[in-house]
Amino acid sequence: MNKKRNMSRPRLLFNSHSRLGVFDLSNLNEWYPETNIPGMESWSWGPMFDDGRRIIIASYEQGKAWEGKIGVHLWIYDLDEQSLLEEIAVKKRPAPFITCSHILPGETRLLTHPIIDGKQRIWTINLDGTEPKEITREEDGFIYCVKISPDGQKLAYHSTMLEGRDSYCIFVMDIDGGNRVEVASKQNHLYFAPIWSPNGEWLIYQDCYYPNDPGHDWADLCLASKDGSIKHTITSGQRQWFSTSYGDLKTRGGGSNIADWTPDGKRVTYTRAEPGSRTAWPYQIDRPDTDHFNRDYHPNDAVGGTAICLLDPFTREETEFIPCQPRVWNFRSAWSPDGSLFAFCRAKVGLPSSIWVVNANGNNQQLLTDGYKHQGADHPVWVA
């Protein structure tokens, strides 16, 4: 499943306040796809086809997407032609809200995630939506952050809203839903976003102790074998910046920040906060969450910042890769397909997020973009 594409034309995809963005490193051209579909409020990138030019994208109708009650549409977009080709998954839709995380081997079926009766599930479907197959059911909880193993045989994911459980648990199972193994679960711990090692033997994931952190701002990193027989917490102090929040009142943004493996599988990224760090957006525990953000802006109270470190998950040896600066927050992890470049985000207090790129040895940091009309850029993903 690991595809090492030719880096003769490296492109970095990103999101900029509901818009899709592309930065072409071969000619330093930055552009924003014109989709022009009535009724769509926002767009996001999905999985790439093997030809390196066609990609699945999702459009979201107006409403609160995180509640799973709006319509989501899936499309094929051609990056070379800069054109929207066709809407897919239109037949036998199991629900109005359905996203796609992977194109399965053979490129005739998709791994999708409809929300049915309030719980997100795993289904496989043909490109046109026919021959749907239900992989998980209501009793399996609300499932997301699904990742296919490098050999294409297994799925890792986290699940919440499980009967008798108070938090998020991590599971691994065969791609058809068989042989499910519980990798990580513990009362009061939010285990989140399992990421496969390149050799498919290990998982790295977040562990947020949420009784002390209701905003889920911080976490430790954990390592587990794919069968769950070996588990270690590999950081301490809940210093991984987990739930990001940045920008000002007009450019605010956020989203879960997760660790990733280096291409050689020897280290993982660790977004380490300075002791006592506090963002400009503290979580408001004393009121209902109506916008999936639930934070107020207090830039004068922000202190500290984050470095991106490279951590050996087996020896716990730690090296600072992107150094910390006062009141500067570095986050996200995106290695280029050939491993020569690393993209990340940076947000100074009160300013929108920008995307930077650096050589694999840590040298030559360069600002690529701060997004559409300088409103911010986030969630970088490489394609070539």
Residue 8: per-residue pLDDT: 57
Q: Which residue has the tokens 């479907």?
A: 125
Helix (H) or strand (E) holding 351: none
* 260 CB burial (10 A radius; 0-12, 13-18, 19+): middle
Residue 7: per-residue pLDDT: 52
Domain ranges for the chain, please list them. 239-284+295-384
State whether residue 160 is helix, strand or coil.
Answer: strand
What tokens were used for 193? 């976003």
Please give the average pLDDT of every successive group of 10 residues along the chain, which has 384 residues: 56 96 95 95 96 96 88 97 97 96 97 96 98 96 97 97 92 97 96 98 98 96 98 98 96 96 97 97 90 93 98 98 97 94 97 97 96 97 88
Question: For 216, which DSSP code?
Answer: -
Residue 66: per-residue pLDDT: 79
Amino acid at 7: M
* 332 CB burial (10 A radius; 0-12, 13-18, 19+): buried
| Whole-prediction pTM | 0.95
Residue 290: per-residue pLDDT: 83
Residue 227: per-residue pLDDT: 97
Specify whether the CB–CB gap between 171 and 180 falls below 8 A: yes
Residue 281: per-residue pLDDT: 96
What tokens were used for 188? 């009061």
Specify whether the CB–CB gap between 379 and 34 falls below 8 A: no
Specify whether the CB–CB gap between 248 and 297 falls below 8 A: yes
Q: How far apart are CA 347 and CA 327, in angstroms?
A: 9
Amino acid at 383: V
* Integer Rg of the chain from CA: 20
* 105 CB burial (10 A radius; 0-12, 13-18, 19+): middle
End-to-end Cα spacing for the chain: 16
Residue 39: per-residue pLDDT: 95
* 220 CB burial (10 A radius; 0-12, 13-18, 19+): buried
Residue 5: per-residue pLDDT: 47
Phi and psi dihedrals of 112, rounded to 5?
Answer: -125, 170
Q: How far apart are CA 115 and CA 121, in angstroms?
A: 6
What tokens were used for 258? 């997760």
Q: How far apart are CA 281 and CA 149, in angstroms?
A: 36
